[in-house]
Amino acid sequence: MFAVANGPTSSPRAAIGPKTKVTVVLGAQWGDEGKGKLVDILATNADVVCRCQGGNNAGHTVVVGDKHYALHMLPSLSGRDKQPANFCPGRNGVVIHIPQFFEELEKLEAKGIPEWKDRLIISERAHLVFDLHQEADKLKESGKTSLGTTKKGIGPAYASKVLRWLCLLYTAMSEASLMEHHFLYQNLFATPCPPILSVVLTIFFPLQELGNQMQEIGREFGVTTGRRRRCGWLDLVMIKYSHMINGFTALAIAKLDVLDTFEEVKLGVAYRYKGELLSSYPASLEVLSKVEVEYLTLPGWKMSITNCRSFDDLPQNAQVFVKKVEEIVQIPVNWVGVGQARDQMINVY
């Protein structure tokens, strides 16, 4: 599940409206929620699509007809061959590994999107990821405290940024400009490098029941690493905590069709630790690893919903599931995903 946060609108259910200037798509869980697909849909009415943090550790897939776009640095609308909007893969909070960035651009051009040069905007204050950051990431992951990162050097790059050891894109460009008076560097920076609640991280994940079955049905494999994503029932305790921090105005439920074959479906609604009901999401990883989850069990719908295109098309039990999520977290669910394709996203309101 992921969420949308907006500026003021006339209605709490109006996630996008004529007075809305900025729409922010946020992951409400551990990543791999399906944000890229919603960004692709919302981009139709946007002038600019911008990333504000992260790097090429991200992975989002957009399906347009028979074409699959696997993107990492670039925003989802990059796969729109007639979309007039600009896309901004690098704001101040983004970290960029330049060789892999150009490799991704070349792949996009090979798929028939040649005009990216006219649409690309990158902040000169974006920070750079160097090979040494990736090597540091690999060394960290080889130890006993591995988190299961993508080993793209993102964490070490941000550590360098905080310590003020990191090079800005502007700095690199300025130094390159000075060097050109004395040296000729061919293809500078352009050398290519080798190439549900779901997550590829090694974390405490209390709701993993039936995770393997969900993996197979939903084809849950990381776009960047190809590793199996850890799957589990929807954790509404985490959603409410994310909402407290971010102030969501709407939610999107991705891949509801993954639950089509289940006799029963569950929602994680509370945590208990040593028999005591926790009032909020625990800060302690030790506590999180030992919590007992209280579930709300609902009847499944036992039929395919991949051809549903409106909320009323969904079977009654699927509608009840969505409404129950709204009721518990007190946030409207504006979108429901029923498949991988662009048109398999129901706009509820």
Flag whether pLDDT at 217 surpasses 70.
Answer: no
Q: Which pLDDT score, from 0 to 100, does residue 286 have?
A: 82
Mean pLDDT of 312-338: 95
Q: Which pLDDT score, from 0 to 100, does residue 210 have?
A: 53
Please indicate if the annotation marks 225 as binding a ligand: yes
State the average pLDDT for the chain.
74
Q: Which pLDDT score, from 0 to 100, does residue 312 have?
A: 97
Flag whether pLDDT at 184 surpasses 70.
Answer: no
Q: Which pLDDT score, from 0 to 100, does residue 336 have?
A: 93
What number of other Cβ atoms are within 10 A of residue 308's Cβ? 20
Mean pLDDT of 203-211: 47
Mean pLDDT of 160-189: 55
pLDDT, one tens digit per residue, over 135-171 is 888 888 877 766 777 788 888 888 888 777 756 665 6
pLDDT, one tens digit per residue, over 52-109 is 788 877 777 777 667 777 777 777 655 455 443 455 655 567 888 888 888 888 887 7
Q: Which pLDDT score, from 0 to 100, does residue 292 have?
A: 92
Q: Which pLDDT score, from 0 to 100, does residue 200 have?
A: 37
Please indicate if the annotation marks 33 as binding a ligand: yes
Is 157 or 191 the better-scoring residue by pLDDT? 157
The DSSP code for 73 is S
CATH number of 55-178: 1.10.300
How would DSSP label each residue in 209-224?
TTHHHHHHHHT-B-TT
Flag whether pLDDT at 328 surpasses 70.
Answer: yes
Q: Domain 199-347, what fold?
A: Adenylosuccinate Synthetase; Chain A, domain 3 (3.90.170)
Q: Provide the β-strand partners of residue 347.
A: 335
pLDDT-derived band at 234 (thresholds 50, 70, 90) equals: confident
Is 2 or 334 the better-scoring residue by pLDDT? 334
Q: Which pLDDT score, from 0 to 100, does residue 13 have?
A: 42
Please indicate if the annotation marks 342 as binding a ligand: no
pLDDT-derived band at 191 (thresholds 50, 70, 90) equals: very low
Please tell me which of 190-194, 232-236, 277-281 the model is most confident about, judged by mean pLDDT.
Answer: 277-281
User: Quick one: how far is CA 169 from the chain centroid?
Assistant: 24
Q: Do 55-178 and 199-347 fold alike per CATH?
A: no
Strand pairing category for 250-253 and 333-337: parallel
pLDDT, one tens digit per residue, over 120-140 is 778 777 888 888 888 888 888
Backbone angles phi, psi at 235, to 5 degrees: -100, 100
Domain boundaries, the chain: 55-178, 199-347
% of the chain with per-residue pLDDT over 90: 21
Rounded Cα distance between 124 and 143, Å, is 35
Flag whether pLDDT at 49 surpasses 60.
Answer: yes
Q: Which pLDDT score, from 0 to 100, does residue 204 have?
A: 42
Please indicate if the annotation marks 151 as binding a ligand: no
pLDDT, one tens digit per residue, over 8-41 is 443 434 444 455 578 888 887 766 677 777 887 8
Please indicate if the annotation marks 191 as binding a ligand: no
Mean pLDDT of 248-268: 90
Please indicate if the annotation marks 40 as binding a ligand: no
Instruction: Mention every residue, 6+ apart, whose C-beta is less than 8 A from residue 286.
Output: none
Q: Which pLDDT score, from 0 to 100, does residue 230 have?
A: 62
Mean pLDDT of 313-328: 96
Please indicate if the annotation marks 218 as binding a ligand: no
Backbone angles phi, psi at 150, to 5 degrees: -80, -5
% of the chain with per-residue pLDDT over 70: 67
Please indicate if the annotation marks 272 as binding a ligand: no
Please indicate if the annotation marks 44 as binding a ligand: no
19-45: burial string, b at 16+ Cβ within 10 Å, e else: ebeebebbbbbbbbbbbbbbbbbbbee
**Active-site residue set:** 32, 60, 161
Question: Lowest-confidence range among 107-111, 246-250, 336-340?
Answer: 107-111
Please indicate if the annotation marks 258 as binding a ligand: no
User: Quick one: how far is CA 136 from the chain centroid?
Assistant: 24
